[in-house]
Amino acid sequence: MKILIIGSGGREHAIAWRLAQEGHQIFGAPGNPGIAEIGQLLPTTDYLAAANSIDPDLTVVGPEVPLVAGVVDQFRAAKRKIVGPAQDAAQLEGSKIHSKEFMRRLGIPTARYARVESVEAGITALAEFDHPVVIKADGLAAGKGVIIAKDRAEAEAAVRSLGPRLVIEEFLEGEEVSFIALSDGKNIVPLEATQDHKAVGDGDTGPNTGGMGAYCDGRILPKADAQHVLDTVIGPVVEATRFTGFLYAGLMMTTNGPKVLEFNVRLGDPETQPLMHRLDSPFGEVLLASATGNLAGVSLRWKSEPSVCVVLAAAGYPGQVRTGDVITGIHTCGTQVFQAGTKQGPKGLETAGGRVLGVTASGADLAKASANAYAAIEKIHFDGMHYRHDIAAKGLKRWGPATIRTIAP
Ligand code: AMP
Ligand code: GLY
């Protein structure tokens, strides 16, 4: 098939890499230098015009912004096959207030919350919550619109910096799991669960990011738990919204069962990078089945080897990012490196965004997959490069070996 991939990050490079391996012809709009190595770029954000110029068999949307803006409705009106949710359903990610009220209506388990529309109301509502308390900006914020405030002063500052439209919610304790399923509006195909690492620093310290690394291992969510999430979370959403495309439930596995932290209406990034590394089914066919209402009876196979993706971030991320640092080593480091914030400059490949690369590796077990990713990183360089040293460490702690590989920063 001729497949158009919308987006320009590590997720889109991973999708392109996987589909190219299956023999599909890849186009990226606007794409990135990694996708350019395996396909053709259409340097535009007028996605329908891009599709009209190449007439693809299928279009896959990576990021949330075009989904929330209605790209799927636009493509469908033009009779083009596309993987993603309609604009209505995409509001589950576009507005945290909408998402929380939707969950309340459907009885989907989530943290207790207050919605406020002014800073004053936000400050007043803080009295209803213990510390830490979680403050969330209503709209899209690339993973950076959430502050976990440990005391009243931090909470008030967060309300002022993220307001006026906010969700304030109770802090949930537990392990976080990213659970993603593909739907065609009726049938649901779960992907294997992954675990992301949202905070910038080792040991979950520092501010939140879009995700500093993720791993995929069949043991993250036992089968019974996955079924429970399908029954109580994914199923009700698909039924209520006729959801098509990838529905991502960010879960906190609490002692009272899984609770939804957020919905995304797309594949996760970096989660997609280890997922594509492990997927053992023909992805192109499954995507086409989602776009054409043919997912009945489809299930996905996964390789037995776990996979790990460590994000290499640019100086300053997740704050003000420095760009233009020259990147070396990615083609000789011994594993697959997905490109995100990169561009071709006069001196070769340069940094061009916060999350620059996703170094992704598999291994006979999680420890080996992780060791392979970190060994490859030793061979990659750009000035200001920083990354977490404990990606997959939680899984390693749960399932062994006893010693977790951590490298002193
Ligand atoms: P969100 O964009 O809503 O998923 O929030 C980003 C991150 O903030 C999540 O991945 C969690 O790490 C953290 N977080 C969000 N909500 C809560 C909560 N209620 N309790 C604890 N941590 C949370
Ligand atoms: N890694 C989290 C996300 O894609 O939103």
Is pLDDT at 236 greater than 80 in this prediction? yes
Domain CATH for 22: 3.40.50.20
Is pLDDT at 408 greater than 50 in this prediction? no
> Residue 205: helix, strand or coil by DSSP?
strand
pLDDT score of 143? 65
Asked if residue 149 has its Cβ within 6 Å of ligand 1, the reply is no
Q: What element of type H or E holds 85?
A: none
Statement to judge: residues 279 and 201 lie in one domain:
yes
Give the end of a domain, one of 152, 170, 188.
170
Residue nearest ligand 2's atom 4 by CA? 268
Asked if residue 169 has its Cβ within 6 Å of ligand 2, the reply is no
Integer distance in angstroms from the first to the last C-alpha of the chain?
44
Distance 355 CA to ligand 2 centre (A): 12
Is pLDDT at 405 greater than 50 in this prediction? no
Alpha carbon 82 to chain centroid, angstroms? 19
Give the end of a domain, one of 292, 324, 351.
292
Question: Can you tell me the distance from the alpha carbon of 138 to that of 163, in angstroms, rounded to the nearest whole number?
Answer: 8
Domain CATH for 147: 3.30.1490.20
Q: Which runs of consecutive H residues, i.e. helices, occur in 138-222?
A: 152-162
Q: Would you say 213 and 227 are in contact if contact means Cβ atoms under 8 Å apart?
A: no
Statement to judge: residues 332 and 378 lie in one domain:
yes
Q: Specify the number of domains making up the chain.
A: 4
Domain CATH for 190: 3.30.470.20
For 15, other C-beta atoms within 10 Å of its C-beta total 29
Domain CATH for 365: 3.90.600.10
- Say what the pTM is: 0.95
Give the end of a domain, one of 145, 170, 195.
170
Residue 95 is assigned to a structural domain of this protein: no
Give the pairing of strands 25-30 and 40-41: parallel
Residue 17 is assigned to a structural domain of this protein: yes
Residue 89 is assigned to a structural domain of this protein: no
Residue 105 is assigned to a structural domain of this protein: no
Q: For residue 331, give the amino acid letter.
A: H
Residue 106 is assigned to a structural domain of this protein: no
Asked if residue 28 has its Cβ within 6 Å of ligand 2, the reply is no
Statement to judge: residues 337 and 268 lie in one domain:
no
Distances (CA, A) of 57 to 95, 99, 208, 336, 370: 31, 32, 38, 27, 37
Statement to judge: residues 184 and 277 lie in one domain:
yes
Asked if residue 210 has its Cβ within 6 Å of ligand 1, the reply is no
Asked if residue 335 has its Cβ within 6 Å of ligand 2, the reply is no
| Structure tokens belonging to residue 203 | 């040991």
Statement to judge: residues 130 and 33 lie in one domain:
no
| Span of 27-36, 44-53, 143-152, 227-236 with lowest mean pLDDT | 143-152
Question: Ligand 1: which of 96, 134, 140, 177 to mutate, judged by most atoms within 8 Å of the beta carbon?
Answer: 134
Is pLDDT at 30 greater than 60 in this prediction? yes
Domain that holds residue 25: 2-84
Quick one: average pLDDT of 300-310?
Answer: 97
pLDDT score of 398? 86
Is pLDDT at 342 greater than 50 in this prediction? yes
Residue nearest ligand 2's atom 3 by CA? 268
